[in-house]
Structure 1
Amino acid sequence: MRRLILVLTVILCSIVQGSMLVDSVVISGATSVPEAAALFAVRKGDSTTEAMIGNAFARFREAYEKEAALSCGFLLSTTQDSLRGSCTITITVSEGAWVRSLALAPEPEESPVPPLRLLYHKEGGPFADDSLQGDMRRMRSWYADRSLTASITVETMGAREKRIVFAITLRPAHARLLFAGNRFFDQATLAAAAAETDPIPALRRLYHTQGFFAVSFDSQSRDSVTTITITECARSPFASVLMVGNDKIPPDTLLSYASFKRGEPFSEERVTGIIQAMLAWYENHGFPFCEISPREFTYGPEGVIVSLAISEKGRYHFGNLYVYGAATTKPGAITRLAGFREGSLFSQTELLKLTARLARSSLFETVEEPRITVQQGRRVADVHIRVVEGSHNSAEGMVGYAPGQEGDGENRFSGYAHLALGNIAGTCRSLSFDYLRETPVLSGDFRYREPWVLGSRISAEGAFSYHTDEAEAYTIWETGVRIVVPFSDQVTFSTGIAQSANTYRDTGSFFSTDRTYATLAGITIDARDFPDNPRSGYFLELPVRYGRKRGSTGVFNEAAFSANAEYILPMGRTQALYCKAAYRTLASNDPTLNRGELFPLGGALTVRGYRENQFYGKTIAFARTEYRFLAGLRSRFALFFDLGATADRPAIFREVSARNLLFGYGAGFSLKTKAGLLGIDYGLARNSPVLEGKIHLNIKNSF
């Protein structure tokens, strides 16, 4: 009894005073203002009133619109719990056009109406003109399940705050419709069109959309079956396309871009395609707000004359690039990385490329779609992009283990370490160091990359490498520089020079040194969507090296050619087939080449299941196939099968047979963890027992 009195007292006090305890404040749809909750003065746990909520909401709207990139709509709702004297406050933000109200008006009025939850549009939600047709299709399908045919029209009112009214006219569905004489449309298409409203007018409109303006219909009903006989007649062609309002661009330019040909069959879909192509041309040549609409279709003896109304609305240029979320990378580096040029003509294609360049750089975890704002009183469009900056640096280690083979009995470990600084001081300069130890081989590699030399698109790279083999008693030092010139976002050309010194044991305990001076060239095509863990695309690299070697035994010419190709075929949303093929050959008239001058084969980067650099040859070729199950941006599980071979001549396929072909198979995974990227591959070589496979452990920590 005391509890009941206490509850009634609380309710009475809350009614008298009008105050409520706030259970929670939910703000949804706030995309361009990250700290939107801080703008609303009422907090969870506060004691408030309806008036206080209204005042706080008004201040929230004013503050939000000052910070938002677009004009916004707001919807406030308060859910009260009278027993507890508390409430839940919900604020829905819609940036751009939004739905203020939504209504269904059936005829007759007492007719059933579908539930609003079937529709894409919701009160307080965003407005999308393209989704209105989908909403009408859903309602027609709902009525069809109830043996009713619905004719639905929609009216939208308001520029930013939309009021949507669906007018619905109902009639009983036809028991059965049959069609005769139709050649252009099939039975299913005609039945779908005729089910929406009165059959004959609906069918006539359908045929008119495809240029059959002389079509005629004859309808006969018997029992519960209606047979409609169709006489299609000839299809009308396009006679011409006339334009009004294209002050800056001549008609021939626009029609050429749309691939329009006089005399081609008329259809409304083709008219829409012409308009879309012309809009694309305008958007890519400085007219982002251009509008094109059909004025009229005139049917004559020579065909259909289409008249289009064009509103160009001025030519715009790019203004400033604003990137949000990049704490490390400097704005100037991001601008160059994105290829953004202030003052250039606005281009929608260039806007999309800008986003793709940032996403492919691997500096950012996510890159959102760009938004544009227009500077007041100027035809200048500023670009706004929000990014989530990723880790720029990485430390990577790999350990290989191979059980002792028969006759050797020694278990072998191999080690690999990689350190990369990918964005030094936020300038996109990069530095990397690689170390490999595979007894008796020891090698190291140091590389530095300077982007945008002298403010140009050209980048420069310097490299220093060291390689020694204790068993063969030789050491190779090499230095080189090269420049990389981009032809496009996907194609680059490189050229450079290199010098190497090869010290080896000649005869007995005497050592000799050969020096090689070489020129480098190559072309690279990279169309992968995300190089670190691609889901689709392809990659092709063709490097060439030519040099002269001077040593104790003479002067020799050397030429090396390589080809590396990758292709990734998507197999659904989370699976992909990865294929890689590589070929490398060395042409040299030096008969005393040591192992360090040959190409290695075997290990984690070539043919898995074998030791690192287990085989060497003047010519090698290998192929890798993986069926990948993608578990994240950088995570995957894969089943793999690798092939490889070595030879002493460039025509490697003449020397390869089923007996000397190397192949490995197995499984592996790469998983992003809190400690970094963890990768393990277990590979089995040809004729190897299951327990004698090679384990490749890779740990990559980003920071």
Structure 2
Amino acid sequence: MFPECLLFLFLLSQSLEKVEIRGVTSFPESQIEGLLEPYFGSEVDSSLIEKLAAEILDFYGNRGFPFVSVRPEYLRKSREGMTLVLRVEEGKPVVISGLRFVGSEKTKRDVLLRFFRDEGKLFSLARLREEIAEANSSGYVEVLGFSVDTSGGRSDLVIALEEKRVNSADGALLYDQRRKNLGGYLEVGAPNLMGTGRSLALSYRRVSLGEQKFELRYREPWIFGTDFYTEGEIFYHFAESLFIKRSVCARVGLKRKIEFYIGEKYEDNVDMGGNERESNFLSLLGFKAERFSGAYLPRRGISLKSEVQVSGTKQSGFLFAGWRFPGSGRLNLSFRVDLRFVRKKGG
């Protein structure tokens, strides 16, 4: 990336004392030089120069300059250490005229525009990285890269995508010859239903011993084009002569950097052995928050989830916290805490 002759001239492993910026820039040179002060005192090598260049590229990229270039001119040696002279060519600031998506065949453009809201705005590398991370977290698209096309008098942001094959269907039919009974299962999953971002999941199981289990989940991600969403769940579990468990749940939430939701849930549990029945209407309140560094390969960050369920006879809830951070080499370390409680009146 940089001329290696700079390093061969100074193989004395001296530390960096100062960085000087050359070139015509829209920002005071002292402001850029001050950005690099945390690196002063570090040993001068090729990796350090690349880190300094990356800081400058991010500085300009977050302020509307996608075509900035950084080139080292020379190293100056003194008793105190090394002075590195960098030449910066910032290019022109860019306001995004429009967006083009390459590689998207099924996912509708309106869905992709929910992730990328750059049209008419000054180019920002930090904002774009957050948008890429959000798109990748959807599970049905993966961002491969981006570029800015300034041909034709426009400044279009071009996003290269790869759509994941996430829709699935699986099933089997079983026959119990001894009991002369049919059983089996069917599972259908559509996290990106017809390219709309809506999700649908269905699961049905029946075993020959008189047990049935059914689950249905649906999510509408953007109500009337807003950041509000709604989702619902239906659950039914029947075991002959043992129990019946039924529940219906509906939630409405707002998803931004932190996701909040409220909802109502009805539970009906019947114990056939003891001839007992318990029914509850539960009010739900919860939040979710995730923050990971790295748009393409999230490695470091934190995940928080919490929910409280309250009714006239029962209170329950959980708190989940997870941390993930990189170790040495290819090793990734993670740590999690999961706390749950259930309390009944009179118990």
TM-score normalized with structure 2 length: 0.73
Distance 1:435 1:277, change over 3 A: same
User: 1:467, CA displacement in angstroms?
Assistant: 3.5
Amino acid in structure 1 at the alignment position of 2:203? D
Take 1:471 and 1:579, find their aligned partners in 2: how far apart are those partners? Answer: 43
* Partner residue, 2:201: 432
* Partner residue, 2:305: 542
The one of 587, 590, 598 aligned to 2:342: 587
Q: Equivalent residue of 1:370, what SS? A: strand
The C-alpha deviation readout for 1:415-454, integer Å capped at 9, x for no partner, is 4432233333422112222224455543322222111334
Take 2:126 and 2:74, find their aligned partners in 1: how far apart are those partners? Answer: 30
Amino acid in structure 2 at the alignment position of 1:546? Q
Distance 1:132 1:341, change over 3 A: same
Contact 1:318 1:345 in 2 (8 A): yes
Take 2:205 and 2:254, find their aligned partners in 1: how far apart are those partners? Answer: 27
* Partner residue, 2:248: 478
Contact 2:201 2:218 in 1 (8 A): yes
* Partner residue, 1:314: 92
User: 1:271, CA displacement in angstroms?
Assistant: 4.7
Distance 1:418 1:538, change over 3 A: farther
Structure 2 residue runs of 5 or longer lacking an equivalent are none
* Partner residue, 1:244: 22
Contact 1:318 1:383 in 2 (8 A): no
Distance 1:579 1:395, change over 3 A: farther
For 1:147-296, list aligned pairs within 5 A. Answer: 206=8, 208-210=10-12, 235=14, 238=17, 240-260=18-38, 264=41, 267=44, 269=46, 270-296=48-74
The one of 138, 145, 150 aligned to 1:369: 145
Take 2:242 and 2:346, find their aligned partners in 1: how far apart are those partners? Answer: 16
Contact 2:230 2:250 in 1 (8 A): no
Contact 2:236 2:244 in 1 (8 A): no
Take 2:16 and 2:293, find their aligned partners in 1: how far apart are those partners? Answer: 42
The C-alpha deviation readout for 1:502-545, integer Å capped at 9, x for no partner, is 26479997x7563332223143548699xxxx998899563423
* Partner residue, 1:560: 317
Distance 1:209 1:282, change over 3 A: farther
Aligned residues: 341
* Partner residue, 2:218: 448
Q: Equivalent residue of 1:559, what SS? A: strand
Identity of aligned residues (%): 19
Q: Equivalent residue of 1:282, what SS? A: helix
User: 1:386, CA displacement in angstroms?
Assistant: 5.1
Contact 1:498 1:519 in 2 (8 A): yes
Amino acid in structure 2 at the alignment position of 1:258? L
Distance 1:321 1:357, change over 3 A: same
Take 2:279 and 2:153, find their aligned partners in 1: how far apart are those partners? Answer: 70
For 1:294-443, list aligned pairs within 5 A. Answer: 294-299=72-77, 304-336=82-114, 338-348=115-125, 350-351=127-128, 357-364=134-141, 368-377=144-153, 380-385=155-160, 387=162, 389-391=163-165, 393-397=167-171, 415-437=184-206, 439-443=209-213
Take 1:536 and 1:436, find their aligned partners in 2: how far apart are those partners? Answer: 37
Take 2:3 and 2:85, find their aligned partners in 1: how far apart are those partners? Answer: 26
Distance 1:332 1:475, change over 3 A: closer
For 1:566-605, list aligned pairs within 5 A. Answer: 585-589=340-344
User: 1:255, CA displacement in angstroms?
Assistant: 2.9
Take 1:527 and 1:272, find their aligned partners in 2: how far apart are those partners? Answer: 23
Take 1:312 and 1:469, find their aligned partners in 2: how far apart are those partners? Answer: 69
The one of 501, 505, 520 aligned to 2:285: 520
Distance 1:295 1:436, change over 3 A: same
Take 1:386 and 1:497, find their aligned partners in 2: how far apart are those partners? Answer: 35
User: 1:581, CA displacement in angstroms?
Assistant: 8.2
Contact 1:535 1:568 in 2 (8 A): no
Contact 2:242 2:272 in 1 (8 A): no
Amino acid in structure 2 at the alignment position of 1:394? S
Amino acid in structure 2 at the alignment position of 1:466? Y
Take 1:308 and 1:526, find their aligned partners in 2: how far apart are those partners? Answer: 33
The C-alpha deviation readout for 1:314-342, integer Å capped at 9, x for no partner, is 21133322223433221121222x43421
The C-alpha deviation readout for 1:58-106, integer Å capped at 9, x for no partner, is xxxxxxxxxxxxxxxxxxxxxxxxxxxxxxxxxxxxxxxxxxxxxxxxx
- Most deviating of 345-354 and 427-436: 345-354
* Partner residue, 2:264: 498
Contact 2:243 2:272 in 1 (8 A): no
Take 1:291 and 1:566, find their aligned partners in 2: how far apart are those partners? Answer: 35
Amino acid in structure 2 at the alignment position of 1:361? S
Q: Equivalent residue of 1:208, what SS? A: coil
Distance 1:242 1:257, change over 3 A: closer
Amino acid in structure 1 at the alignment position of 2:21? M
Contact 1:462 1:482 in 2 (8 A): no
For 1:611-690, list aligned pairs within 5 A. Answer: none
* Partner residue, 1:604: none
Contact 1:498 1:520 in 2 (8 A): no
Structure 1 residue runs of 5 or longer lacking an equivalent are 1-129, 134-201, 212-234, 402-408, 550-555, 593-703
Take 2:185 and 2:341, find their aligned partners in 1: how far apart are those partners? Answer: 26
Amino acid in structure 2 at the alignment position of 1:318? I
Amino acid in structure 1 at the alignment position of 2:253? I
Amino acid in structure 1 at the alignment position of 2:105? A
Root-mean-square deviation (CA, aligned residues, Å) is 4.9
Structure scoring higher RCO (CA < 8 A, sep ≥ 6) equals 2
TM-score normalized with structure 1 length: 0.40
Take 2:64 and 2:256, find their aligned partners in 1: how far apart are those partners? Answer: 25
